[in-house]
Structure 1
Amino acid sequence: MPHHPVSFALHGGAGDMPQRDHGYAEHLAALQAIGTQVQSALQDGLPALDAVEMGVRLLEDCEHFNAGRGAVLNTLGEAELDASIMGGDGACGAVAATRRPRNPVTLARALLNDGRHVMLAGAHADAACERLGISMAEPEYFIIEDRQRQLERARAHATVMLDHDEPLGTVGAVARDRHGRLAAATSTGGMTNKAAGRVGDTGVIGAGTWANDQTCAISTTGHGESFIRVNAAAQIHWRMSLGHEPMHAAAELVIQQVVDCGGMGGLIGVDRDGLVCLPMSTLGMFRAWSELDAPVRSAVFR
């Protein structure tokens, strides 16, 4: 097989983050470090599917982002977690409203490998951890004090808050490996004070995550309901495949559709040629990326 330069992107959520004196230095440092690990692994020959799982696992373990430990809390004060992963050959797995897998993306990957079902939800997804050999944690493991304070503020205002109203957010990864294969993965705790059992785009293949080796790999972040309504991630693939649109143009059109139906957010993408796109409708999106073996870069604002 040909030996391609590698490309990848990571996101840690998009939103209208306030400007802060520290410039979100800890978030950028985490993204830069994780991005460097992902790039190194890809350059050493790690397949794209393994690379996106690895990147999202590291982001789930980082309390600065709304996934895994440090996820936002629902109306009951629980962390309910969604994740999905897809390879460019069409294999995929997803989980929704889970409370026990230490790394939800790895449970999604186990479902992909198992091949029987694409998605499991709630307590039944939690129960599958033991059968599939997935590391589990007590529900309290995922809860941190900052998220409890955030929930209290949301309750006081009787509102549901997007994760990016705070400097934290949904996470995702896309990659093209040495053999030109593509993959994408996404993981989240959703929105603060969301209804128990609510599932956003992150757990929905086609809305929050999509990969096809002939077109692109996409991971989204933002107002999940709006991304579901426009079938955001898969729509970019179909625009490229049927309409022969370049990824950048297709992605910008889809982000505008999200805005037109009342939502906000951004996405990361890599196409079959290794080109990266990072469009957003918001003031910023936590992100790190490298295009065609270039040095890893990270940024928050536009």
Structure 2
Amino acid sequence: MAMQTLTTLITGLAGLALASLATTASAQEEDDPMEPRWSFAIHGGAGTLTRSDMTPEQDAAFRAALQEALDAGSEILGNGGTAMDAVTAAIVIMEDNPRFNAGKGAVFTWEGTNELDAAVMDGRTRAAGAVTGVKTVKNPILLALEVMKDGRHVFLSGAGAEEFAGEHGLELVDPSYFATEWRRMSLERMKVEKISALDVDIKFGTVGAVALDLEGNVAAGTSTGGMTGKRWGRIGDAPIIGAGTYADNRDCAVSATGDGEYFIRAGVARSICLGLRFAWESTRKASGEPLSADEVQAVADAVMADVEVLGGTGGVIVVSPFGPAVFSFNTEGMYRGRATSEGTNEVAIYDDEK
């Protein structure tokens, strides 16, 4: 029954992709699909993001932060570096920037601590590493990377993950390093006014990156502090392989941000990749032609529509071997950026910048 349900879902996604192709005038890129090229995308959270939420100075600061991370990954890819190196370099920059909910600047748990999650996946081998509930590792994404490289396990948590970090020479910091006053104020407001995390945070500040390198390999990474006021060791989708993070050279790399509980239930990242694989194998494999950007977008949009049906909000970034990266989100905005070897280089925040 589970396999039948999955097959039905994938078939529906492929149908949506084909319908989108038939009703849009967008053409395939004129580039030779066999020519080596790279593509890169990042996100810094999705949610209620309107121009009235931020001053022009805040808007500019967020765009500059996104551009810095985007440029770091793009430079690596442009110089022939690996997709994984590009992904981790960009995420480290965002983890170190207190404007995002990852690393320094992470939200507070109900108990007033900062508990961090991260994951990476290499599409070439489908090796993966993930960590959750760490409190002293300066850059959780680098810890997830070490877990992947070590290879004995995929997912480590809490004290064990921190012990592993120490044994592998990762930089450890006092837990106070991650705290910022405005995040603490969000927690206090939540407690006093008895409101939800969605009411105190104007965005889901999870950060992530996806990349396609010149060797045709894809990679994905995601890092987060979770939700304001989370309790009982709550874990969201970001460190869960197949939900918030996934990469497979056969189809795509995905990083997600949003209501983690719904992204877990929908298996968002894996569903998008399976949808793309089915769409390609059923419509393009015989000719060797890549999927169009519109078809990739349609598959991502279909999975995000499923999340919305469940009651969840958020967004994804997707890069595939078929062409440029795409964004899909069902919120008023998402901090995002993308760049390609063909010259695309852009950052955006609001939904009307699509």
- Cα offset, 1:231, TM superposition: 0.3
- Which consecutive segments of 4 or more residues in structure 1 shift more than 4 A? none
Q: Where does the alignment leave 5 or more consecutive residues of structure 1 unmatched?
A: none
- Cα offset, 1:37, TM superposition: 1.7
Taking structure 1 as reference, are residues 140 and 163 closer, same or farther at Cα in structure 2, changes over 3 Å only? farther
Residue identity over aligned pairs, in percent, reads: 40
Q: Does residue 44 in structure 1 map to residue 93 in structure 2?
A: no
The answer for the alignment partner of 2:13 in structure 1 is none
Q: Distance in 1 between matches of 2:93 and 2:199?
A: 19
Q: Does residue 102 in structure 1 map to residue 125 in structure 2?
A: no
AA partner of residue 80 (structure 1)? E
The answer for the alignment partner of 1:211 in structure 2 is 247
1:24 counterpart SS class: helix
- TM-score (norm. length: structure 2): 0.82
| Aligned pairs for 1:242-281 within 5 A | 242-244=278-280, 246-281=295-330
**Counterpart pick for 1:115 among 146, 151, 154:** 151
Q: Where does the alignment leave 5 or more consecutive residues of structure 2 unmatched?
A: 1-33, 283-294
Q: Does residue 78 in structure 1 map to residue 113 in structure 2?
A: yes
- Cα offset, 1:293, TM superposition: 3.4
| Aligned pairs for 1:1-302 within 5 A | 4-19=36-51, 20-22=54-56, 24-88=59-123, 89-162=125-198, 165-166=201-202, 169-244=205-280, 246-302=295-351
Deviations 1:112-144 (A, max 9, x none): 000000000111111111112211111111011
Q: Distance in 1 between matches of 2:296 and 2:220?
A: 15
Taking structure 1 as reference, are residues 85 and 162 closer, same or farther at Cα in structure 2, changes over 3 Å only? farther
Aligned length: 301
1:201 counterpart SS class: coil
- Cα offset, 1:176, TM superposition: 0.6
AA partner of residue 216 (structure 1)? C
Q: Is the 8 A contact 1:17 1:165 kept in 2?
A: no
Q: Is the 8 A contact 1:275 1:292 kept in 2?
A: no
Q: Distance in 1 between matches of 2:193 and 2:237?
A: 25
Q: Distance in 2 between matches of 1:224 and 1:163?
A: 16
AA partner of residue 236 (structure 2)? G
Q: Which has the larger radius of gyration?
A: 2
AA partner of residue 131 (structure 1)? E
2:328 counterpart SS class: coil
Superposed CA RMSD in Å reads 1.6
